[in-house]
């Protein structure tokens, strides 16, 4: 999930409306993915995965937990990625937290195989994060770290994110049934592979 360089011509910059619709669309895609994972008993990686672990272990609300876990990362984001990125990321995290809390009241799936939830949810996650990254935003936590290493070191964010995600999912073996962790890893691989293929540095020049 590369961050386009801010040095391109201003004619290529996104308008505020374009940023707004991307934040809304991206977080909605991700919220739907989290609903699928939650109803299938799965989880994802990164900060959202840590929120899932606490949610499953303690019963705390997923959206509330996700919002609180992201708080320590904003200082790092402000220092390393700038105020615009940090503000957009905070807005996306806040919106996703609200959507995640309320979406289950409006969406209920009677039959959901974990394989479908893993693949479709992974694609939804990748698509949502792609929208956000191309408008200089993220969903905080591990994504901030991944974006930083891509911009500063040239490491593909999809690969960095995949490593972090798999580490979180391995920790899930202490909380979730191994079969569910296996399907969750599939979802992380689908998401990471989607971003790896579709969001390469230099391919997208809007800022």
- Closest by CA position to 167, among listed 183, 181, 153: 181
Place 80 in a pLDDT band, splitting at 50, 70 and 90: confident
Per-residue pLDDT for 21 more than 50? yes
How confident is the model at residue 6, as a pLDDT?
38
Per-residue pLDDT reduced to its tens digit, 165-206: 778 888 899 988 999 999 998 998 898 788 878 766 555 544
Cβ contacts of 79 within 8 Å, gap of 6 or more: none
Tokens 């299938």 found at: 40
Cα 173 off chain centre by: 21
d(CA 125, CA 30): 5
Q: Which range has the worst mean pLDDT, 12-21, 33-42, 48-57?
A: 12-21
* 152 in Cβ contact with 88 (< 8 Å): no
């Amino acid at each position: 999930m590369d961050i386009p360089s801010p040095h391109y011509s201003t004619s290529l910059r996104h308008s505020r409306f374009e940023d707004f619709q991307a934040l809304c669309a991206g977080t909605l895609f991700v919220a739907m993915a989290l609903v699928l994972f939650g109803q299938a008993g799965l989880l994802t990686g990164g900060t959202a995965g840590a929120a899932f672990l606490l949610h499953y272990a303690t019963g705390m609300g997923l959206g509330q937990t996700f919002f609180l876990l992201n708080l320590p990362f904003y200082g790092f984001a402000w220092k390393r990625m700038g105020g615009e990125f940090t503000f957009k990321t905070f807005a996306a995290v806040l919106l996703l937290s609200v959507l995640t809390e309320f979406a289950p009241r409006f969406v209920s799936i009677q039959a959901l195989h974990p394989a479908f939830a893993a693949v479709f949810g992974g694609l939804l996650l990748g698509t949502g994060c792609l929208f956000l990254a191309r408008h200089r935003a993220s969903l905080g936590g591990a994504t901030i770290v991944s974006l930083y290493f891509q911009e500063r070191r040239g490491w593909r964010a999809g690969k960095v994110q995949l490593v972090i995600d798999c580490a979180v999912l391995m920790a899930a073996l202490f909380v979730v049934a191994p079969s569910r962790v296996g399907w969750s890893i599939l979802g992380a691989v689908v998401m990471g592979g989607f971003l790896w293929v579709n969001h390469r540095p230099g391919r997208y020049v809007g800022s």
